Amino acid sequence: MFHKDSASDATFRKQVRSWFEANLPRELRGRTVRPPPADLMVWYKLLSERGWIAPHWPKEHGGMGATLSEQIIIAQELGRLSAPHLPLQGVNHLGPILMRYGTHEQKQRHLPPILRGDVIWAQGYSEPGSGSDLASLTTKAELIDEHFLVNGTKVWQTWAHHADWMFTLVRTDPEAKPKHAGISFLLIDLRTKGVKTKPILNIAGDDEFSQVLLDDVVVTKENLIGPLNGGWKVANDLLANERLFTSSPQHALEVVHRITRLANANGRDGDPVFRDKLAALRIRIIAQEALFWQAAGLIANGRPLGPASSTMKLIATSNLQAATDLLIDVADTHGADVGRQSVGDDDVDITRIFLQSRRATIYGGSSEIQRNVLARRVLGLPS
Amino acid sequence: MDLLLSPEQELLQASASKLLAEQGGVKRMRHLRRKSAGFERNVHEKMALAGWFGVLVPPEQGGLGLGLTELALLLMETGRGLAPEPVAPAAIAAYALSNGESSAASSNLLEKVVSGEMIVSLAIEGDGSELDNTRASLAAVFSSGRIVLDGTRAGVPLASASDGFIVAAWSNDDPVLCYVSKSAIGLTVDEHETVDGRSYGTLTFRAVSADHLIAAPAHAAPVVQALYDMMLIATAAELVGVMTAALDLTVEYLKIRKQFGKPIGSFQALQHRAVDNLVQVISTRTLLFQICDQGIVPSSEMASALKAYAAGEALALTKSAIQMHGAIGFTDEHDVGLYLKRAMWLAAYLGNESAHRKRFDRLSQFEPVELRQDH
C-alpha cells in the first residue's frame, strides 16, 4: 500500500514466491495452531538448505545478508501462504545476541546448529514471581570455580519441552542495586542433570509453553554471554528489525483474510453492520501499515526506532485482537464452537485463534508496560 | 517525532508556526469567534505572501510547486493555531484553477487567489456528505455559450466572506467545474453558525450564469474527484494539528496540576490515557504523511480511510483532553474546549467517520488469498 518494490525487489519477490509455493508442504499451510516443532523441522530444514532460514543474519555468519526490504518480502510471502511460525528463538533472538556479545568460540559452537535446525532454543526470562517486573528475578546462579550452580524456576518458555537449550537470565548478584545490575545472561543445556521441563496447557488448550525447574544445575562458565552481571543489557539490546517484525500488519491481515472468507461463506459479507466493522478494522490496519513503512524507512536509514517500537506494539496487538474479535463475531452462533470449521479451502478453528491472541498484549512487555515506557520517555510525565 | 521530513519541509513548518504565533495565535481566534467575517484579510494576505495558497501551483504559474506533504504541514499549523483563514479552500481552489482548462479568466483568477487578493471557496459538496451524491443537487445547462446553474451546494466554508466559489455541478451525467462570483444574479447564501464559532454557507442557485468554465464535462471528472479527495486530506491534516495542540496542552497540564500532593501526571490512570492519545496523534499523522507521499492526487480509497480515521481519533482525543483537564476543561475560558469544537466541525465537514468508512468500503476491494494453490 505504502510501498512499491524496486525492480530488483520485484524479481526477488517472484523468486521467493515461486519457491515457497513449490516447497512449503501443503499440510503446513493455513494452520490455525502451529504444529509442534517435530512436524515443522522439515520446513525449517528446507529453508535452511535454501539459505533462507536467517534472512537478517550477515553472510559471514552463514545468514542470507538480506536487505531490510528483502526481509520484509520474505515475511510477506510466508504470510501470504499462512506458513506456520517456526521455532525461531535461536535465529531471531539468540543469534543476533551471540554475534554482538559472544566470543569467537561461542559463535562457532552455537550459530551453525541454529542455522541447520539441529538445536532448538527456548527463551528463559520470566519467573513465577517476575513477570512485568523482570528485573526482580531470583533464579540464582552462584559462580563456584569454573562453573555456575543454578537454582530456580523459569516459566512461560515457548516449547521448552521440545527444546534442546535455553538462553536465560539469572541472578548472579543478590545484593545489586538497582536489581537489574546483578543479572547475567546464561546458556543452559536442557539435558543437564537437575533440569526438568513441564508443559503448561494454555487458555486455547495448547501445550505450547512450559515451566523449567532448575535444581542444582551445573553450568560451565563458557556458557556466560557478555560480562558477569551485564546480562540485562545483553537481553534488552534487541535489534530494530526484530521490533519491527513483531509489529508487522501481516498478523492482523492474516486474520482479516479468514474473516473475509468466513463472511463470504456464511453470507455476512452483505450485512451492513458487519461491513462497517470490517471497514473500521481495515482502516486501522492501514494506519498500522503506514507506521510500519515509516519505521522500515527509519531503520533502512540507520536510525533507531526508540520508543516508536512501543507505539507500534500497542497498535499491532490491539489490531490483532480487534481482528480476532471480528472473527468470532462474523461466525455468529458458531462463535464459541470448538474445533475446525471448513470454510472454502480453509480450516479454521476460530475460538482457538481468538484465545491465542490474548497473549499478544501480555508477552514481550505488556501493553501497560509499553504505556509506562511512553509516558516517561516521550511525554516526560513524572513518576 | 518520527517523521522523515526534509530540512526544507521542517523550515516551512517552522515558519508557518511563527507566522501564526506573531498574529496572536489562539487568542486571535478567540476574539474572532462568532464575528461576521470570521477571519482577517490582512492575515490572509500575509499567508499569501508566504506562498501558502500557491503551494500546489507550479512555479511558472506563480506557485511554490510543492506537494501534498507541504500543504499538510501548513494545515497542521493552521489547525494547531486554530487560524480561521480559509487556507485549505484557497490552496485547493488554486490547484483547481491551475489544472483546469487554460483561459485568461482562469489565470487571472489564479493570480488573485495565490496573492490573497480574492477569497475563493469551494462549493463541491452536495446535501449528503459524499461527492457522488451531488448529481441531483446542482444541474448545469449549457445554453448559447453560457453555463446556467440550478440547485444547491452545501457546506461551503466562510461563504459570506468569500468573493466567489469554485463550483462543481452536473451536466447530464458528467461533472463540470466553473467559477461563480458571490455577486452573481440568482445566487443566495444562507449562513449557518457552527459549534467552533465559525460558519459555513448553503448556496442556492436559481438560473445563475457561471462567470467562466474551469473544466468542461469531458475533462472535469478527475479534477472534481481530485479536489474532493484533496479536501479530505487537507481536513485530516488540520485535524492532526488540532490533536497535536490538544495533547500538548493536556500533557503540560498533567505536569503542573497538583492533587493529593502530587502532579496528577504521576497517576498511572492518567498516564495511560495520555499515552493512548499520543498513539492516536502519531498514527494519524503517520497515515497522513504516508498518504501524502503517494503523489499529488490521492487515491479516493485512501483519502476516505484517512478522513474516517482522523475524524474518529481526533474526537476521541479532544474529548479525553477535556476529561483530563477536569472542571477547568469544561469552561469557555480554557482553550482546550476550542480544540474539541474545532475537531467536531472538521470531523463532520465533507463527511464524518461513518460516511467515509462506508465510502472506503464501497471503493476498496479486499479479496482473500487462496491458500492451497497447485503448481
- State how far the Cα of B62 lies from the Cα of B95, in Å rounded to an integer: 12
Name every chain B residue with its beta carbon within 8 A of the beta carbon of A18.
Answer: 375
Burial (CB count within 10 angstroms: exposed 0-12, middle 13-18, buried 19+), residue B258: exposed
Q: Residue B301: closest CA among chain A residues belongs to which residue?
A: A283
Nearest to B120 by CA among B146, B91, B148: B91
Instruction: Report the residue of A283, A313, A317 to disrupt the B interface, i.e. the one with the largest count of B CBs within 10 Å.
Output: A283
Q: Does B369 sit within 8 Å of A80, measured CB to CB?
A: yes
| Cβ–Cβ < 8 Å for A91, A57 | yes
| Ordered DSSP codes for A274-342 | HHHHHHHHHHHHHHHHHHHHHHHHHHHTT---TTHHHHHHHHHHHHHHHHHHHHHHHTGGGTT--S-EE
In chain B, which residues have their Cβ closer than 8 Å to the Cβ of A277?
Answer: none
Look-up of cell digits 500488519: A249
Chain A residues within an 8 Å CB radius of B280: none
Q: Which domains does chain A have, with CATH numbers?
A: 7-86 (1.10.540.10), 121-234 (2.40.110.10), 240-377 (1.20.140.10)
Give pLDDT tens digits along chain B (375 positions): 346 789 999 999 999 999 999 999 999 999 888 877 789 999 999 999 999 999 999 999 999 999 999 999 999 999 999 999 999 999 999 999 999 888 999 999 999 999 999 999 999 887 655 555 556 689 999 998 899 999 999 889 899 999 999 999 999 888 999 999 999 999 999 999 999 999 999 999 999 999 999 999 988 989 999 999 999 999 999 999 999 999 999 999 999 999 999 999 999 999 999 999 999 999 999 999 999 999 999 999 999 999 999 999 999 999 999 999 999 999 999 999 999 999 999 999 999 999 999 999 999 977 776 655 443
CA distance B274 to B277: 5
Residue range A130-143: mean pLDDT, rounded: 95
Among A355, A339, A354, A331, residue whose Cα is nearest residue A268:
A331
Domains of chain B plus CATH, in order, are: 7-118 (1.10.540.10), 121-218 (2.40.110.10), 222-363 (1.20.140.10)
Are A368 and B272 a contacting pair at CB < 8 A?
Answer: yes
Chain B residues touching residue A378 (CB < 8 angstroms) = 1, 275, 278
The H or E element spanning position B78 is helix B68-80
Residue type, A184: S
C-alpha cell at B229: 479527495
Count of other CB atoms within 10 angstroms of residue A105: 9
- Euclidean distance between CA atoms B334 and B340, whole angstroms: 11
State the best of B372, B374, B375 to mutate against chain A, taking most chain A CBs within 10 Å: B372
Residues with Cβ within 8 Å of residue B251, at least 6 apart in sequence = A379, A380, A381, B265, B274
**Euclidean distance between CA atoms A288 and A251, whole angstroms:** 11
Distance from B290 to chain A by nearest Cα, in Å? 6
Q: What average pLDDT does this structure show over A130-139?
A: 95
Which residues of chain A neighbour B275 with C-beta distances below 8 Å?
A: 314, 371, 374-375, 378-379
**Chain Cα centroid distance, residue B101:** 24
Q: Which residues of B touch A381 (CB under 8 A)?
A: 251, 254-255, 265-266, 271, 274
Taking alpha carbons only, the member of B355, B362, B361, B360 closest to residue B130 is B355
Residue-wise pLDDT tens digits, A57-103: 999 999 999 999 999 999 999 988 889 989 999 999 999 999 999 99
> How far does Cα B301 stand from its chain's mean position?
17
Q: How far apart are CA A308 and CA A291, in angstroms?
A: 9
Q: What are the beta bridge partners of residue B140?
A: B149
Q: Is B113 within 8 Å of B51 (Cβ atoms)?
A: no
For B176, the grid coordinates are: 463540470
B221 touches chain A (CB under 8 A): no
Asked if B263 and A382 come within 8 Å (Cβ–Cβ), the reply is: yes
A76/B365 Cα distance (integer angstroms): 19
Distance of CA A303 to the CA centre of its chain: 22
How far is the C-alpha of A261 from the C-alpha of A343, rounded, in Å? 7
Interface list for B 280-309 with A (CB within 8 A): 282-284, 286-287, 289-291, 293-294, 302, 305, 308-309
Which helix (DSSP H) or strand (DSSP E) does residue B286 occupy?
A: helix B268-292
Q: Which of B342, B350, B288, B363 is nearest to B3 (CA)?
A: B288
Nearest to B244 by CA among B286, B200, B301: B286
Is it the case that residue A242 has pLDDT exceeding 80? no
CB-CB contact of A337 with A354 (8 Å): no
**Residue B129, pLDDT score:** 55
Dist CA B316 CA B99 (whole Å): 37
Give chain B positions within 8 Å (CB) of A29.
371-372
Give the cell for residue A374: 511512553
Give CA–CA dist B340/A303, Å, rounded. 35
Express each pLDDT in A313-353 by its tens digit: 999 999 999 999 999 999 999 999 888 777 766 678 899 99
Half-sphere exposure of residue B81: CA atoms within 13 angstroms, side-chain side: 24
Q: What's the grid cell of residue A197?
A: 521441563
* A 287-326 residues inside an 8 A Cβ radius of B: 287-291, 293-295, 297-298, 301, 308, 311, 314-315
Entry field: residues in chain A: 383
Q: Are B310 and A315 in contact (CB under 8 A)?
A: no
CA distances from A349 to A35, A338, A346, B42, B228 (A): 14, 7, 10, 65, 43
* ipTM of the prediction: 0.94
Q: Report the amino acid identity of residue B24.
A: G
B229 CA to chain A: closest CA distance, Å? 16
Residue pair A256/B278 in contact by the 8 Å Cβ criterion: no
Q: Which one of A2, A22, A380 has the shortest CB-CB distance to B290?
A: A2
Taking the C-alpha atoms of residue A245 and residue B277, their distance in angstroms, rounded to an integer, is 24
H or E element that contains A39: helix A37-50
The count of residues in chain B is 375
Q: Which of A236-240, A306-310, B8-12, B218-222 has the lowest mean pLDDT?
A: A236-240
Please tell me the distance from the alpha carbon of residue B230 to that of residue B89, in angstroms, as a whole number.
Answer: 10
Phi, psi for B230 (deg, rounded to 5): -65, -40
CB under 8 Å to B143, separation ≥6 — which residues?
none
Degrees (nearest 5) of the Cα angle A256, A257, A259?
60
By C-alpha distance, which of A308, A280, A289, A6 is closest to B291? A289
b/e B78-96 (16+ beta carbons within 10 angstroms → b): bbbbbbbbbbbbbbbbbbb
Residues A194-217 pLDDT 10s: 999 999 999 998 888 899 999 999
Nearest to A379 among B275, B360, B375 (CB): B275
A vs B, Cβ pairs < 8 A, gives 138
Tell me which chain A residues have a C-beta less than 8 angstroms from the C-beta of B276. 371
Q: Which three cell numbers stand for residue B27?
A: 487568542
Q: Sign (positive/negative) of CA torsion A154, A158, A159, A165?
A: negative
